[in-house]
Structure 1
């Protein structure tokens, strides 16, 4: 049975201590035996910082694609990136409406052993007051995903800056109507852990790196992996999902202010019984 192992992680951009954090992220990703990685807050600076996606891809031996979301030439530029063990056959980027600017959707079309898989990556507005804008963003996101139908289920990952209780996430899960419309995506973590528990948090007060954002709520699950329709033969089923890169090193240093989410997604039909 072929499965696809993917992680989503917000890198925390250029937040210090950047060299130590990049080492921990690279080591952590290497240990997970991944097929692909969706990254947010991926930075580069032509004078001070090589592209973080390129650095991590080289360490993993992966291909990568990077899309700039904001930043001017000569200054820090920030964007999204997908890293893949398998060939990336196509890369596309769409803008999102945003109250903060620089929000996009990225798609990498990945050639797996089971066929072409569309991995979508995004990062929604972060301010708590921008919930209505996030609602607009998820409506646009689902329109984009629907228009890119493939033989395999699509995978949507990223930092959504909202919890399962928020309307924008409930819309994605088919539990809320926005603009007279409905979507239905499988939340990988909820698929495996149907009862919410503290282990699902990706933004946690136990991580000192979150303290620079003291005005944000702590202990939230706001990084997600979603999967489009699961087929009756099991293709698209979430076989496992867990929180990763959530432990400090022996000096108390965490890799990022976010924890990562890892999912194993079934790509081939289950054997007949």
Structure 2
């Protein structure tokens, strides 16, 4: 895993993620980079959770640790941005837990919005198994298991998800870049406060 940024990185941190008894420790971690973007520092995180089809409980434990890590480092004018391969579809317990608005949040007060909520519904949604029709997945279609999650925007709309889409979902010179499509989101910079007048 890595965080690549065109903007300066002000600080970094790493957190190992847990496993549970009876499950292999795959050495999963979460990374944090505080990015010096226009409008102020942005707390950015990325991770890759366990992939076993029967490891939802492990992923839930990993998400709880990830949420604590995010809460520790989510400082600054921008909401936190959490990205990664969660190996879980949007309705799975571990995704509901990290988002914290369809169930109690993993850390009180930490709510993350799935950027895909802001995508054009007509766009293809699958991010995994895009290149092979015979790979095992969670259904008869490509699964969406890769995410950009963003905290609620501030009052100046800083960090609001403006758009979301897939990328890397076509062959280049006959070769797939990955069996995963990338998720791309555009976030808003701060907007001047509006002055409203009463009638």
- Structure 2 unmatched ranges of 5 or more: none
Aligned pair 1:155/2:81, yes or no? yes
Aligned pair 1:234/2:157, yes or no? yes
- Cα deviation code 1:86-143 (max 9, x no counterpart): 1111111011102432110101111112111111010001111100111111111111
Match in the other structure for 1:272? 194
1:178 Cα deviation from its structure 2 partner: 6.8
- Which SS does the other structure have where 1:262 is aligned? strand
Match in the other structure for 1:135? 60
- Which SS does the other structure have where 1:169 is aligned? helix
Q: What is the aligned-residue RMSD (CA, Å)?
A: 2.2
* Higher normalized strand content (fraction of residues): 1
- Cα deviation code 1:229-267 (max 9, x no counterpart): 21232111001110000011242x210010000000113
Aligned pair 1:125/2:50, yes or no? yes
In the alignment, the residues of structure 2 paired with residue 108 and residue 249 of structure 1 have an alpha-carbon distance, to the nearest angstrom, of 30
Higher RCO (CA < 8 A, seq sep 6+): 1
Match in the other structure for 2:40? 115
8 Å CA contact 1:236, 1:267 repeated in 2: yes
In the alignment, the residues of structure 1 paired with residue 6 and residue 193 of structure 2 have an alpha-carbon distance, to the nearest angstrom, of 26
TM (norm. structure 2) is 0.84
In the alignment, the residues of structure 2 paired with residue 108 and residue 165 of structure 1 have an alpha-carbon distance, to the nearest angstrom, of 28
Aligned pair 1:85/2:6, yes or no? yes
* Higher normalized helix content (fraction of residues): 1
1:198 Cα deviation from its structure 2 partner: 6.5
In the alignment, the residues of structure 2 paired with residue 272 and residue 246 of structure 1 have an alpha-carbon distance, to the nearest angstrom, of 39
In the alignment, the residues of structure 2 paired with residue 258 and residue 127 of structure 1 have an alpha-carbon distance, to the nearest angstrom, of 17
* Runs of 4 or more above 6 Å deviation: none
- Which SS does the other structure have where 2:4 is aligned? strand
